[in-house]
Homo-oligomer: A and B are copies of this chain.
Amino acid sequence: MMKFIHTADWHIGKKIHGFQLLKEQEEVYRQLVEVAVKEKVDAIVIAGDLYDRAVPPAEAVLLLNKMLMELNIVQKIPLLVVSGNHDSSTRLATGGPWYEFLNFHLVTKIEDSLKPIVLGNTQFFLLPYFEPIDARLYFGDSSLTTHELAAKRVVEEMKKSFDPNYHQVLVAHLFVAGSLRTDSETEVTVGGLDQVSASVFKDFDYVALGHLHNPNASRHERIQYSGTLLKFSVSEANQAKGFKLIELTDEGNLKNTFYPVESTKSLRVLTGFFDDLTARDYYETQKKDDYLFIQLKDTQIIPDAMNRLREIYPNVLGMERLDKTGLLSKMGQLNKEKIQQSSPRALFEKYYQEVTGDSLSKQQTDLLTTIFAQLKIEEEDQTQ
């Protein structure tokens, strides 16, 4: 029996709309550690994108080091890790040769993916994110022009080390054709040039993937994404978040258990009319400090809406109008032609009235006059 946790895409150091997530990242990590310890797993697989950026901020470096140290040195759990497209393979590789001695296997280069790490009944092949050019250079084969061809060649090479007495698990960071994307997985390639057919992986007992953030992104039972531990965008708001516990019996039977995790602050979408969302009766039923994306049904202009929402919900990430055409039609009481004919100052006065219900004071009008005169001079200078 081989029992391991499959996780990926930690993106330590990621910010969403300026909000630092380190605290939440540590929270969900704790839930993973608990399961790992309780289930006495044989290994933890992290399938790439440990960091969010090639050069992560120092606090992210500190946090990830702490996490990996706790898992590997304190809890003594073998780690099987590859670099993802968000990681700098060179920077992530720091310490790698020393990690080996404590059963922390970190692979950042194709050449190191070809020889398996043997744990229990399983040969693990650790394939980092790579580009076709890397495969062309490594194999000296200029025909490897796509991710598909490159992955095929790599797997072919791996198969030479397949031992029939063991199961084979592939850890990789790539896009399997037919999987479901989310908009937060950056670097989407036009025309699907980055996709690899599932059939390439048919000889593996399990393929533990990273790259896509949805744990249900893949349709193939034995080719799975773990998904992220946190919601990283509005489009992920309805996705389950967690990791997978994989059990592979000696007979080759696979059991896949999804463990959901939850951070204190979740990422949610609130939809409604401004007056409803800001009514005490409503917001007292809400976890107000969640990361919220607000969808307003209103078609009226709402003065200072964002700041007023943030007085109630401090972690509003963003706001949008559901009925954009309705809103525009209200704003369009001045028709287009009229707008073009109006002076900037007249337009501003109109806007100010709509938003505040007040007229401009004498002082405000004077200030506006000065500002627009200054802007006009600058504009003329530039077009000279």
- A interface with B by C-beta (< 8 Å): 55, 58-59, 61-62, 65, 69, 72-73, 88, 90-91, 93-99, 101-102, 104, 377, 381, 384
**CA A98 to CA B94, docked complex, whole Å:** 11
CB neighbours (8 Å) of A62 from chain B are 90, 93
Enumerate chain B residues within 8 angstroms of A96, measured Cβ to Cβ. Answer: 65
* 19 A-B residue pairs with CB within 8 Å: A58-B90, A59-B90, A61-B91, A61-B94, A62-B90, A62-B93, A65-B94, A65-B95, A65-B97, A69-B97, A73-B97, A94-B94, A94-B95, A95-B95, A95-B98, A98-B98, A98-B102, A381-B381, A381-B384
Interface contact A104-B98, CB-CB below 8 Å: yes
Specify which chain B residues have a CB less than 8 angstroms from the CB of A73 in the assembled complex.
Answer: 97-98
Find A101's partner among B58, B94, B102, B384 (CB 8 Å cutoff).
Answer: B102
The reply to whether A377 and B384 contact each other, CB–CB distance below 8 Å, is: yes
Q: Are B58 and A91 in contact (CB under 8 A)?
A: yes
Residues on the B chain within 8 Å of A58, using CB? 88, 90-91
CB of A112, distance to nearest CB on chain B (Å): 14
- Closest 3 A/B residue pairs (Cβ): A95-B95, A58-B90, A98-B98
CB closest residue in chain B, given A94 = B94
* Shortest beta-carbon distance from A375 to chain B in Å: 14
Enumerate chain B residues within 8 angstroms of A55, measured Cβ to Cβ. 55
Question: In the bound complex, what is the Cα–Cα distance between A98 and B72 (angstroms)?
Answer: 9
Give the docked Cα–Cα distance between A349 and B91 (Å): 53
Contacts of A97 in B (CB 8 A): 65, 69, 73
Question: Separation in Å of the A325 CB from the closest CB of chain B?
Answer: 43
Our pick among B61, B377, B381, B384 for the contact of A90 (Cβ within 8 Å) is B61
Q: Kindly state the separation between the CA atoms of A55 and B94 in the bound complex, as whole angstroms.
A: 13
Q: Give the shortest distance, in Å, between A251 (CB) and chain B (any CB).
A: 36
Which B residues are in CB contact (< 8 Å) with A90?
58-59, 61-62
Interface centre among A95, A102, A381 (most CB of B within 10 A): A95
Known contacts A65-B96, A73-B98, A377-B384; 20 further A-B pairs (Cβ under 8 A): A55-B55, A58-B90, A59-B90, A61-B90, A61-B91, A61-B94, A62-B90, A62-B93, A65-B93, A65-B95, A65-B97, A69-B97, A69-B98, A73-B97, A94-B95, A95-B98, A95-B99, A98-B101, A98-B102, A98-B104
Alpha-carbon distance between A61 and B95 when the two chains are bound, in angstroms:
11
With a CB–CB cut-off of 8 A, which chain B residues contact A65? 93-97
Q: Nearest chain-B residue to A98 (Cβ)? A: B98
Give the chain B neighbours of A59 by CB distance below 8 A: 90
CB nearest neighbor in B for A72: B98
Which of chain B's residues has its CB closest to A90's CB?
B58
From A55, A90, A377, name the one whose CB has the most chain B CB atoms within 10 angstroms: A90
Smallest distance from the beta carbon of A76 to chain B beta carbons, Å?
12
Residue of B nearest to A382 (CB): B381
Chain B residue with the shortest CB-CB distance to A54: B58
**Cα distance A384–B384 in the bound complex, in angstroms:** 13
User: Shortest Cβ distance from A373 into chain B, in angstroms?
Assistant: 13
Instruction: Give the docked Cα–Cα distance between A70 and B101 (Å).
Output: 15
**Complex CA distance for A59 and B91, rounded to whole angstroms:** 9
What is the CA–CA distance of A58 and B92 in the complex, to the nearest angstrom?
10
B residues less than 8 Å from A95 (CB atoms): 65, 94-95, 98-99
Shortest Cβ distance from residue A68 to the other chain B in the assembled complex, whole angstroms: 9
**A104 proximity list for chain B (CB < 8 A):** 98
| Distance in angstroms between the alpha carbons of A88 and B61 in the assembled complex | 11
